[in-house]
Structure 1
Amino acid sequence: MEKTLILGLVLFVASIFNTTTDSHSLTVKVADLQNSKGTVLVALYNRDGTIPDEHFKDYYKKKIGEIVDRKTEVTFNNLPQGTYAISILHDENNNGKVDKKFMLPLPKEGVGFSNYDDFGLSNRPNFKKASFNLSKDTVVEVKIIYK
């Protein structure tokens, strides 16, 4: 009886101090950049209404990827399970923002979004379409689009 009580107490105390959370890694791969100039800004979002984010102010987490041979890869670690979306900028001039073409709303530099192969006025990026569920360690490839 005494051993059972001690064992129960040990298990109870261990459960109190067990702070293990269910966290995952997300690796984002980008290939086929039109050149190796600048860097690649990879922004991760976890709320509806945050994409598009031309000034990169509403992100959950952000990383800068170095370009090697026209491709890059970044990994976000310790992410809780949840719904996320990715926005990417091939920031050729390293100014941290989406530069626009003269008199047009189109970006000068390459951009990409998770779950998008193309975008335009009739197919504007949004969180709902770009989102995916993260419930395990995951690798996502995002296509860069140059307009």
Structure 2
Amino acid sequence: MKNIIIFSFLLATVSFGNSLKIDIQNKDLKGVAYLSLYENSDSFLNTSKAFKNIKFELKDNNTSLVIKDIPQGEYAFTIFVDENNNGVLDTNVFKIPKEPSAFSNNYKPKFKPSFKSAKFSIDNIAESIQNIILK
């Protein structure tokens, strides 16, 4: 019985004890922002299929988020500032964002964004860190 309890504790720690810290440099940007965390290329850029969607308030110059209980795997995220408070990222006719936005790894796509270019790994470490510049 003791071994089962120890094994269960270790399994829970290994599988879901990971967290992601995102440090955002947002200069003079203020207001509501949204982050969507994706697990694979099939869900990428489809917020209804995101692993997590988080609405948060930007603080002066720098904002930090910590997302806990993330299983090991590959992930990518998007962040945007909702300047007009409509809950969606506004884009032009070519799907280029009209509101400040960013991708994980500070990936700056020249064409359609890809999960492969924005992805990073969550491994068996206590905390993964992403430093993002939001423009």
Whether TM-score is above 0.5 comes out as yes
Residue 61 of structure 1: aligned partner: 52
Residue 30 of structure 1: aligned partner: 24
Residue 87 of structure 1: aligned partner: 78
Q: Distance in 2 between matches of 1:92 and 1:81?
A: 33
Change (3 A) 1:33 1:100: farther
Q: Contact 2:43/2:49 (CA < 8 Å) preserved in 1?
A: yes
Q: 1:39 aligns with which of 32, 40, 54?
A: 32
Task: List structure 1 runs of 4+ shifted beyond 6 angstroms.
Answer: none
Change (3 A) 1:26 1:66: same
Measured on the aligned residues, the alpha-carbon RMSD in Å equals: 1.9
Q: Give the aligned length.
A: 127
Query: Which residue identity does 2:18 align to in structure 1?
Result: H
Q: Contact 2:75/2:119 (CA < 8 Å) preserved in 1?
A: yes
Q: Contact 2:28/2:60 (CA < 8 Å) preserved in 1?
A: no
Q: Contact 1:32/1:71 (CA < 8 Å) preserved in 2?
A: yes
**Residue 98 (structure 2) pairs with residue 105 (structure 1):** no
Q: Distance in 1 between matches of 2:72 and 2:44?
A: 20
Which ranges of structure 2 fall in alignment gaps of 5 or more residues?
A: none
Q: Distance in 1 between matches of 2:132 and 2:19?
A: 16
Q: Secondary structure at the match of 2:108?
A: coil
Larger Rg: 1
Q: Contact 2:26/2:58 (CA < 8 Å) preserved in 1?
A: no
Q: CA deviation at 1:35?
A: 2.2
Residue 75 of structure 1: aligned partner: 66
Q: CA deviation at 1:34?
A: 4.6
Q: Contact 1:49/1:126 (CA < 8 Å) preserved in 2?
A: no
Structure with the largest fraction of helix: 2
TM-score (structure 1 length as normaliser): 0.75
Q: Secondary structure at the match of 1:118?
A: coil
Q: Secondary structure at the match of 2:105?
A: coil
TM-score (structure 2 length as normaliser): 0.81
